[in-house]
Amino acid sequence: MSPSKPTKVFNDPVHGHIELHPLLVRIIDTPQFQRLRYIKQLGGIYYVFPGASHNRFEHSIGVGHLAGCLARELRDRQTDLGITDTDILCVQIAGLCHDLGHGPFSHLFEKQFTTYTKPEFKHEEVSVKMFDHLIASNNLEREISEKDLIFIKELIMGCPMSNELKQGVWPYAGRPEKNSFLYEIVANKENGIDVDKFDYFARDCYHLGIQINFDYKRFLKFVRVCDVGNRKHICVRDKEVWNLYNMFYTRYGLYRRACHHRVVNVIEIM
C-alpha cells in the first residue's frame, strides 16, 4: 500500500472536511460499499424521528476518518510506538468497512429476522466475508499485502476477550503483541470506547435532534497508550472521566429516547 497523501475531500455535516487516501476512495467507489447508501443507520426509527434518515454509508466514512485521526494522534504524540503510515491506512480501511455486513434496516434485520433463521449470525463476520468479496471482485489484492489483509479483518472482528488473551497468549497474526493498542481503535470489545461509537453518537444525535455532551475531539487530545498489565492499551487522563461518563450516558439516552421508543418498537414488529 502506498502511503501517499490524501487526494479526495468529502464535506461531512458532522466532521466537516474529510480527506481520504486514494485507496480508501477506490474502496468507497465499489458496488459493495455503495450498497451502504441504501441501509438505514437507525432502522425504522426515521418513521418517528423524520430527520434520522441517514445511512450506513456516511457513518462508515466517518468511522474511517476518525480511525485515522486517533491513530495519527498516537503516532505524533508517542513516536516510540512505531506506528507506520501503513498501520494507519489499515486502521482506516477497517473503520471504513466495519459495517459492510449489515442487512436491510441495520440492527432491525438482526433482531427480527436472523434471530429466528440464523441465531449465530454476527454482522462482523459477514462484514469480513463482504470485505473479502470486495477486494477480490475489484482487483484490489495487489494494493494490500496478505499480512495487512489479515490485520484489517482482525480489526473488523474486534478484539475479543478470548481464552488466549486471558492466558497471556497473543492470538493475532496481523500485528505483533507490541501493537495491541491498534486493535482497540475501531471495535474495542474490552471497554466499548472506540471510534465507531464516536461517530454514531455524534451522527445519530445530529440527525435525531438530541443534544450530545460527549466531546470526542477532546478525547483525542488527551489520549495516549499506556502499559496496563503486560499489554499496551489506549488510555486517557483521569480528569477526563466526566467526558467518558458523558459518552456512556449519550448511549443510554439514545437507546431510551430513540431506539426503545414505544412507537419505534411497534413499527419494528410490524
* Domain spans in the chain, listed from the N-terminal domain onward: 8-269
pLDDT score recorded for residue 112: 56
Task: List helix spans (H) across 78-189.
Answer: 85-97, 107-109, 115-117, 123-137, 146-157, 163-166
**pLDDT at residue number 98:** 93
- Give the count of beta carbons closer than 10 Å to the beta carbon of residue 237: 11
pLDDT at 111: 57
Phi/psi for 9 (5° steps) reads -115, 125
The Cα–Cα gap between 112 and 197 comes to: 23
Per the CB < 8 A criterion, the answer to whether 156 and 27 are in contact is no
pTM: 0.89
Of 69, 74, 97, 92, residue with least CA distance to 21: 92
Distance (Å, whole) CA 117 – CA 31: 27
- Cβ 24 vs Cβ 93: under 8 Å: yes
Q: Which three cell numbers stand for residue 39?
A: 441501509
Dist. CA 41–CA 102, nearest whole Å: 10
Predicted pLDDT at 264: 63
Q: What is the pLDDT of residue 139?
A: 92
Please, what CATH class does the domain formed by 8-269 belong to? mainly alpha
Integer Cα distance of 175 and 167 in angstroms: 18
**123 given a catalytic annotation:** yes
Which candidate in 54, 102, 123, 207 is catalytic? 123
List the chain pLDDT tens, one digit each, 270 residues.
655 555 789 999 999 999 999 999 999 999 999 999 998 888 778 888 888 889 999 999 999 999 999 999 999 999 999 999 999 999 999 999 999 987 665 555 565 555 555 556 566 788 899 999 999 999 999 999 999 999 999 999 876 655 556 667 888 989 999 999 999 999 998 889 999 999 999 999 999 999 999 999 999 999 999 999 889 999 999 999 999 999 999 999 888 887 766 776 676 666
Please report the pLDDT score of residue 205 as a whole number: 93
pLDDT at position 67 is 98
